[in-house]
Structure 1
Amino acid sequence: MDFTLTDDQRGIRDAVLEHCSRFPDEYWLQRDHEGVFPHDFHRSMAESGWLGVAVPEDVGGGGLGITEAAIMMQAVAESGGGMTAASSVHGPVFGMQPVNLFGTAEQRRRMIPPVLTGEHRICFAVTEPDAGLDTTRLRTRAERRDGGYLVNGEKIWISVPTPSGRARTAPRTASTPSPTSWPAACACSRRPSPESPRSRRSRATSATWTGCAGEPNGSAGTATGGCSPSTPTRSR
């Protein structure tokens, strides 16, 4: 297998490294000391179009692929920001792919562009207390209801939860986990409530979804929509 980069791929890498050079070590050291999200960096990546590198052009992306996105992310992590920088943008870069691949045309137009522009921020919520990242054992459920899905479950170690207004999570539609029962994809809004762990601790990385509303998309068994941790909502 040949891992040699093409000229276009080298151009992506060089452009991202040049972009990241605008944020020196001192910037990231200050973010670490303050313990805050790198808003300026995230905004600059969105304005430069990098968040949509792997998403089709018809929803505002660059129309490239996952390989190019991985090259971009490696360059981001290689910069002074390290994984702090990479974690601030990997959700939009990779997390919206299920919506892109399995969402309806209306859902793709509505959900993806605001994430790519930075208007909406998403976190990535897959890990569960009893399953880790073993997606065959996830227990968060998306149960079909009139007009959508009802999502119930618990997620931990959520990537970038504090500044995010929405979450990309992974419930399942089957009644019991099994090696052949894979979870569906679900994009959910995440607004803190009094019962939410995040409202008690600003840096909490766990949430419990109870009575979250979701909407079906074009792929059987897959749900996308909006919900709040620990608070029932209506489907949008």
Structure 2
Amino acid sequence: MVTVLIAVDDGDRSLGKAGSEIDPRLMALQKAIAADPVTSTGDTVTCLAASQVGHAWPGMDPSDPDATVLCPLTLDIAADLEFPGQSIYARCRDVAGLRRWVADTWGYSTGTGTIQVPIVWTARGPLYAEAIAPVHEIDIHGSNRSGMPYLQPLHLSDRQRQSLYRLGGNLLRSLSAPPAVYMLQVAILADDLLFDRLWPFPTEAAIASVGCQTPDLLTAHWRSLTQRSVLDVAIATPVTYGVLKATSV
């Protein structure tokens, strides 16, 4: 039996709720855990506020196959809490510091962005998923998924993709990132790429991958946290895709 602790912001509306009242991202993660044939039998999944994690987390024990799995969907984890993502969560919390470091190390411009590039970071290397964008910033080609605030995939040129993949790969290697799904947040301009921040877990935008990408980002994150391989990520066809509006590039 596996015990899973999912940590969210202290004010998250999903705390103490059930069913349709739960945040879609949290619901998708819970479904991924429940559907996992390897770990689902007898699993205990608890959603708790970040401030309560220290009382519930028993610590790391790599030798115990039934050890508790901590899955924070928030950066508000105590800095002194020892868990596999402790170091990279600390770097991701320091948004200004990470921006300076990226600018100084690789010469990228920095600033506020809304485009998110998911990276499934595995022991064998990165799997780059299709970019995700807020629907109000894109022109949608194909049948719109009504009610979705984000859309995947976002159409990008080969040059834009290579620049994003280079930045994401270099950043995660330099940070000695443990296996997980990371979200590289950027702004894409006509002749420039602005680095905004790095998220060490699937953000709210990741819900756009459910029903669109196999495996979806929440499933890929769960498999990564439980030390199992993700071999590929693929977009289903036919596909609805987005193109950045002219004012956004």
Q: Same fold (TM over 0.5)?
A: no
Q: Structure 1 length normalisation: TM-score?
A: 0.29
Higher helix share: 1
Higher strand share: 2
Q: Structure 2 length normalisation: TM-score?
A: 0.28
Q: Comparing both chains, which one has the higher relative contact order based on Cα–Cα distances under 8 Å and sequence gaps of 6 or more?
A: 2
